[in-house]
């Protein structure tokens, strides 16, 4: 199975990180920090809005971590002597790909029709 573009890019970054090490990490940090706006440069209303969003994001993350820790504790209790969890049943359902195929062919057909209209 072929890799997606995202997987290829991720593997490339990992190889580059191993090859170049600290130099690459410093360069990557500088690249990411270009997008950061210090709170001192923001207006008070914008700063409050940003802080409110960050507080919500942090609260949500803390709840997720807490739930994850609780589930891990419950999972260890649910295991039987054989080491398998008998309380959960995982079933894979078939994915209906026909809609995406139809959409893709419809778009291709529209592109072809637009080429003929221009000519």
pLDDT of 99:
63
Q: Give domain status of residue 70, yes or no.
A: no
Classify residue 18: in a domain, yes or no. Answer: yes
**DSSP designation for 88:** -
Q: Do residues 72 and 78 make contact, with C-beta atoms less than 8 angstroms apart?
A: no
Tokens of 61: 């993350």
Q: Is 27 part of a structural domain of the chain? A: yes
- In the prediction, which pLDDT does 53 show? 95
Q: What is the pLDDT along the chain (119 residues), one digit of tens a residue?
A: 789 999 999 999 899 989 998 898 899 889 888 888 888 999 999 999 999 999 999 999 999 999 998 888 776 655 555 566 566 666 666 666 566 667 777 777 787 778 777 65
Question: Which pLDDT belongs to residue 92?
Answer: 66
- The terminus-to-terminus CA distance of the chain in angstroms comes to 40
Cβ(39)–Cβ(47) under 8 Å? Answer: yes
Q: Is residue 61 part of a domain?
A: no
The whole-number pLDDT of residue 71 equals: 85
The verdict on residue 15 lying in a domain is: yes
Residue 55 lies in a domain: no
Q: Residue 111: what pLDDT?
A: 79
Does residue 113 form part of some domain? no
**Number of domains forming the structure of the chain:** 1
Q: Which domain holds residue 5?
A: 1-36
- Residue 16 inside a domain? The answer is yes
């Amino acid at each position: 199975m072929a890799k997606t573009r995202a997987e290829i890019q991720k593997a490339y970054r990992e190889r580059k990180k191993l090859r170049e090490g600290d130099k690459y990490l410093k360069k990557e940090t500088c690249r990411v920090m270009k997008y950061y706006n210090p709170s001192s440069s923001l207006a008070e209303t914008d700063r409050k809005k940003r802080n409110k969003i960050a507080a919500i994001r942090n609260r949500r993350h803390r709840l997720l971590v807490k739930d994850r820790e609780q589930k891990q504790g419950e999972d260890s209790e649910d295991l039987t002597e054989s080491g398998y969890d008998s309380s959960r049943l995982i079933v894979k359902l078939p994915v209906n790909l026909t809609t995406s195929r139809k959409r893709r062919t419809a778009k291709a057909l529209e592109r072809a029709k637009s080429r003929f209209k221009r000519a």
